[in-house]
Amino acid sequence: MERDDVQVGQLLTRREALALIGVSGAAVLTGCTTAEGGGAKSVTLLPGCVVRPQQTEGPYFVDEMLNRSDIRSDPVGGAVKAGVPLALAINVSRVAGGACSPIAGAQVDLWQCDGLGVYSDVTDAGFTTVGQKFLRGYQVTDAAGAARFTTIYPGWYPGRTVHIHFKIRTDPTAARGYEFTSQLYFDDALTDVVHARPPYGDKGQRTTKNRDDRIFSSGGDQLLLAPKASGEGYAATFDIGLQTT
């Protein structure tokens, strides 16, 4: 059963952020006590210091432990999923004490459907793909907190708008570690353009857009990618700040 997490919000101005994340988030927006003033001072947060809402993992997560940057292929047969290429960089930071710092060594998992709305290694009412592992994989963040993937623009399936799932684990080998799970979304106008290209058209016109998606309504506007044209496809960067304590 799917679970919608409470919307956390985005760190904007102090007033906007407190309205979104509550009084308990005030420490994120304040610096250390100064010698002159004796009080906390406001700081300007970097782009990476953005707190995003968690969202449901959904029914299709499989912990395949596939350490790879290019997730388009099935590692068993080698077949590459057709679709518009998407280069995706996820920059992970830790938000603490009014500042952010890159988190190195975090495991970032990505999983999504293919151009026809099919996930790998699951049994569903409309398909069975057990044993296949296309469009799944993880990367470990580098010293700058970045994890980079090569994938495709996702397709669609009934009841959901177009999205990509991701999970961040700061200590994936520990019995108890910090875990953050959410989803990434796309502007509907861009999706209409992309889905006019093959292989997406074989699926027909999608039935659910962002405004109609129940999960998107729980903070999805803060999880939108802004892809830019790059070669035959697109490239996008997503910054996220984690409050790990």
Residues 227-238 pLDDT 10s = 999 999 999 999
pTM of the model as a whole = 0.81
pLDDT at 103: 95
Q: What element of type H or E holds 100? A: strand 99-102
24, amino acid identity = S
What is the per-residue pLDDT for 244? 84
pLDDT of residue 26: 28
pLDDT at 172: 65
- Alpha-carbon gap, residue 39 to 212, rounded angstroms: 46
CA distances from 160 to 21, 112, 164, 174, 209 (A): 26, 12, 11, 33, 7
What residue type is 120 in one-letter code?
S
CB atoms within 10 A of CB 151: 24
CA nearest 187: which of 171, 218, 163, 157?
Answer: 163
Predicted confidence at residue 177, as pLDDT, reads 73
Distances (CA, A) of 149 to 17, 41, 71, 108: 30, 38, 7, 10
Segments in the chain below pLDDT 70: 1-48, 172-176
Q: HSE (CB half, 13 Å, CA atoms) of 3?
A: 5
According to the model, what pLDDT value does residue 112 have?
Answer: 98
List the chain domain ranges: 46-242
Residue 10: per-residue pLDDT: 35
Cis peptide, bond prior to residue 59, ω within 30 of zero: no
Architecture of domain 46-242: Sandwich (2.60)
